[in-house]
Amino acid sequence: SGDKTENLLWRIRNGQLDGLDPQAVVLLIGTNNTFSRPVREEPPGDTVRAVSEIVAEVRSRCPNARIVLNAILPQGEAPDGEKRLRDARINEQLPALADGEHVLWMDFGSRLLTDDGRLTKEIAPDFTHPSEKGYEIWADEVLPFLLSRSRDGRRVRRAGAQVCPAPCRRQ
């Protein structure tokens, strides 16, 4: 609860991934940075730099893994809310971290919204954390990443899942 980029970075640098050799890492981080800090304390560029450091650390510690980098999910009910707009600026920059081979970009945030861009309590009861239905939408999006072929043609060991060879971006 409340995990921020600096918390994840510290855990990675202090052994959380040691001894692991995953074929895929699904990464969703940054929401709590923007949720709990005003723009003057956490401008979009700071969050992007922190996510970039996390991606680099995961790449160096898990060189055989494909990283599925998720966009920050929509937060706040209204499409023009301050946090939503800041997250959109962050999400515009995050695809540059994906190379289509080792790091794959995934943005399915629009699937969580109504046609007019609103986030409902049905999808995120507190307008931040997904409900069971919100997680089902995420699962529907992430499974194609994990069910396609890994770089070396092997299937990902866990539950027969696989990783896709090219960045998948759904709008």
d(CA 161, CA 151): 13
* pLDDT band of 170, cuts 50, 70, 90: very low
Q: Which has more confidence, 163 or 20? A: 20
Note the pTM of the prediction, 2 decimals.
0.83
pLDDT of amino acid 171: 31
Supply the mean pLDDT for the chain: 85
Cα dihedral value 45, 94, 25, 129, nearest 10: 80
pLDDT of amino acid 149: 44
